Structure 1
């Protein structure tokens, strides 16, 4: 029986983790390895999780926060109130200061969110704020959001990476020198090598952060990351090690292995506006032609794994019905900065080759992927993990790089956004997921697990990642 993609990537991990050793005293500095250098540091300009991994909750913060347990908690706002789910009043913490020394005021919140709502700023997630009708500054520490319609995800959207609060005078420097209220201040960015953050001595949470300095080192190659860990050049690997490396390090008493959950759903995206992917039979054939697992992480998930199972014979039949009895050629664009896309791509190319689809893998740099695939939809096929939580909204956006345009799906999603009753909202999510199975705009592959390794004695790293942030404030 063919092995699933996730099995191939993770079989080496479980059952191989060694026993823990003695906890050592934590250092005052931390060097972390990440696989991808951010394309920029402006969270209001890029959707890249590599940017969020450095900036979100470390340098810049939001009114509310997703904590390590996935709960929405007060943050820059010490509390909020609503009596009708249409008008939300937030009461800001007093004495919170930006890194430039100026105190955070309600007008700063109004500025940041209104700028996100402005189409001219080309914010990556403008739909998060569509329900907002007015933002009213009541006084220096009180602000009210008046919604045009109910929005079940309103608070969640205010905790996301595009909703960080920053001073108006810092807009022009956000790309390379973001200023916020976070536990760390931006230090230096040596392109191609590292980013350094420094402790914010005026941080508004007493006792945090615990580190004086954090350095992010960009090491793309998993073998090089492994060597850096073993040599002591880095203290922890947050993302990029292969499962076989995690298994190896799990047996080494010098290290602690962290295996947890994420919201990073990895998909094989198809350009729904480009032939032959305009034909639903082709998209269904490709779905049937890939042997993949089903690993849910969403409370509104419904198990539809049997609806379109691995079935190469049926896949060939659908291709023939669509006019491709001998298959066709396709280009799969992946980014080597995310090694799992290359490894998964090789497996998928093998699977699709068995049903007649001849896949050529083209590796492009991350910046190129963002400009060509994500922005311009210049691709046939691609693989990437979508780290943002509750991202089903992407399928309701016909301009998203999937180019999936279903009025039926869009209407279902629109209803879900204004439905506050949990049972009724779940029913809508079930309908949406069933429609996605039928339309097959992308092939859901697997949930990318949290695979991190740290030196013994490094404590405070999150086990699970309910949001694409590498919050280091408690490390």
Structure 2
């Protein structure tokens, strides 16, 4: 009997140890993402898919944006701003190292910011750094940034993925072998399949709770739902099959979280293309498109109507969504006024995202009712960036602009919308020089009104953040104030 009791006790102890080990071993995660990034250097590309993997995980900036949209210290532990608002003095954290073991200090800040704003810069958000007059290392842990003029959003701008800090020795290789200072290190990129990162045990801050994370590229909605159900993927921070959300909400294995994004989803318009130069044509399209039917039909009810390039959750938001109500008679009258009562043909380039593909079909059907016949051209993300975003060889396209507070892009002559308006530029110039929050909000509302009045683009809806993940996971962001899947605080619960 004693022998049996001992064996029973031993078996129970072994079982407990095995169970404990199994629980302790759950320190990895597989994150599903829709698009494979063109590369992994956020300072050299506009694709949101880059930042969604590397921001706050591999790379860090002087400041960082948290999930509430607030500016927090990152590689700069503190800063002071001169009374005239033109000199920022940053105190850097000590003992920070890049993933290859090299030290991070003030010289890296000088290099990173000068590189981002330099003549040869390929930074997609180079304009963010234009207000900088000089960057000076006062000592190894102190950097002075002088501005040409006060810039109210400078600390926020320095928290973008485009403003991350890089090491001169490894910067040129960051597209394929990213080396940052973040809580995770790059491990492996299996093209067409996944990107793996691992915990940086030499991290300057609190270590990540996860040991390994894999970003799995899941190209379509059918594969996404299948991978969730099979538990091959643990989480989709942005689930691409909104029609499946009710089913997933009823499954106790999953948590469905509906949040907000900075993603203004627009019918981007080449304002210098034939016919689209005429504001009457752009307004006709705005009246001809049933935007609510796009939200209902393409997004299965997930999305918020917008009337300009501005996020509804921002305190400066002005609701202009009803200005261009769905009205085919108005649309046809505007086309006649423009001398185009017989319509015309145009191209609609669609990137591979589900929202673009689905919305494009509805928009093509709507515009056909006012005799605008669209040729739908589906392109992959690399082609879209090359032909549409950089080459400006397009008429119309559909894309979500997920950069935070990016209304200023309309003031850039070289931006792909080809919108060049002196009055709008003056508004943005005044906004950039204003620090008072009340005045800034007034100027941002005027900017929204101007874009709406000029019908620069077709403002469709604000993209919802439809997250789905294993119910035992905590720490993933509910909202997306920046393009990020920040895994810093993610962990598995018992």
Assess same fold via TM > 0.5: yes
Match of 2:74 in 1: 75
Match of 1:119 in 2: 119
Please give the TM-score of this superposition, normalised by the length of structure 1.
0.93
Match of 2:485 in 1: 470
Cα offsets for 1:166-196 (capped at 9, x unmatched): 1110022111011010111001101111100
Change in 2 beyond 3 A, CA 1:25/1:246: farther
Match of 1:285 in 2: 284
Q: CA deviation at 1:53?
A: 0.4
Whole-angstrom CA distance in 1 between matches of 2:322 and 2:173: 50
**Are 1:367 and 2:366 an aligned pair?**
no
Cα offsets for 1:309-356 (capped at 9, x unmatched): 2211101100111111022112211112x1110011112112212222
Whole-angstrom CA distance in 1 between matches of 2:267 and 2:234: 33
Could you list the runs of 5+ residues in structure 1 that have no partner in the other structure?
A: 1-23
Whole-angstrom CA distance in 1 between matches of 2:313 and 2:398: 19
Maintained 8 Å contact 1:25/1:457 = no
Cα offsets for 1:87-146 (capped at 9, x unmatched): 111111111111011221011111101000112122211111111111111111011101
Maintained 8 Å contact 1:389/1:466 = yes
CA RMSD, 1 decimal: 1.3
Whole-angstrom CA distance in 2 between matches of 1:299 and 1:328: 40
Whole-angstrom CA distance in 1 between matches of 2:429 and 2:241: 39
Could you list the runs of 5+ residues in structure 2 that have no partner in the other structure?
A: 1-22, 292-304
Please give the TM-score of this superposition, normalised by the length of structure 2.
0.89
Equivalent residues in 2 for 1:181-260, closer than 5 Å: 181-206=181-206, 208-260=207-259
Q: Secondary structure at the match of 1:431?
A: helix
Aligned length: 450
Cα offsets for 1:21-80 (capped at 9, x unmatched): xxx988211011101000011111101100000111110000001111110011111111
Equivalent residues in 2 for 1:304-323, closer than 5 Å: 304-323=320-339
Q: CA deviation at 1:406?
A: 0.5
- Specify which of 343, 348, 367 is matched with residue 363 of structure 2: 348
Maintained 8 Å contact 2:239/2:468 = no
Q: Secondary structure at the match of 1:168?
A: coil
- Specify which of 452, 462, 465 is matched with residue 437 of structure 1: 452
4+ runs deviating over 4 angstroms: none
**Are 1:387 and 2:386 an aligned pair?**
no
Q: CA deviation at 1:368?
A: 0.2
Match of 2:431 in 1: 416
**Are 1:51 and 2:50 an aligned pair?**
yes
Higher relative contact order (CA 8 A, sep 6+): 1
Q: Secondary structure at the match of 2:376?
A: strand
Maintained 8 Å contact 1:119/1:126 = no
Maintained 8 Å contact 1:220/1:240 = no
Match of 1:8 in 2: none
Maintained 8 Å contact 1:226/1:241 = no
Q: CA deviation at 1:219?
A: 0.8
Whole-angstrom CA distance in 1 between matches of 2:41 and 2:57: 13
Whole-angstrom CA distance in 1 between matches of 2:265 and 2:242: 16
Equivalent residues in 2 for 1:78-93, closer than 5 Å: 78-84=77-83, 85-93=85-93
Whole-angstrom CA distance in 2 between matches of 1:309 and 1:393: 26
Whole-angstrom CA distance in 2 between matches of 1:122 and 1:255: 41
